[in-house]
Amino acid sequence: MYDTTKPTIVLQENVVQKHNIGDTLYIPTLSVKDNNDASLNYYVYIKTPQGILIHINRSKYDGFKLDKTGEYCLIYIVYDNAGNMNQKEYRINVE
């Protein structure tokens, strides 16, 4: 049987979507689940207002300094072993 079910992404905390310049965006902890796989690959990125995509290594830090005004995007991506992908995005406005 071929697995076509996407894994799920559940954040353990809410994403604060309004910030002031100079604030730190704390990256909420997530849990990922799948119908077949116990071990999943997931990635966290921040897209800056300038369009730069930055990979967030969760083992090194849990916060990101918001040093520009505009819209940031916090992106979570998860894959299972069958190649099914799920993505969640959260927009963060910085004034």
For 23-64, the pLDDT digits (tens) are 999 988 888 999 988 888 899 999 999 999 999 987 666 689
Is the confidence at residue 1, as pLDDT, over 70?
no
The 10s digit of each residue's pLDDT in 78-88 is: 999 899 999 99
* pLDDT-derived band at 12, boundaries 50, 70, 90: confident
Question: Are 46 and 63 contacting, i.e. CB atoms less than 8 angstroms apart?
Answer: no
pLDDT for 11 beyond 70 = yes
Query: Between residues 35 and 1, which one has the greater pLDDT?
Result: 35
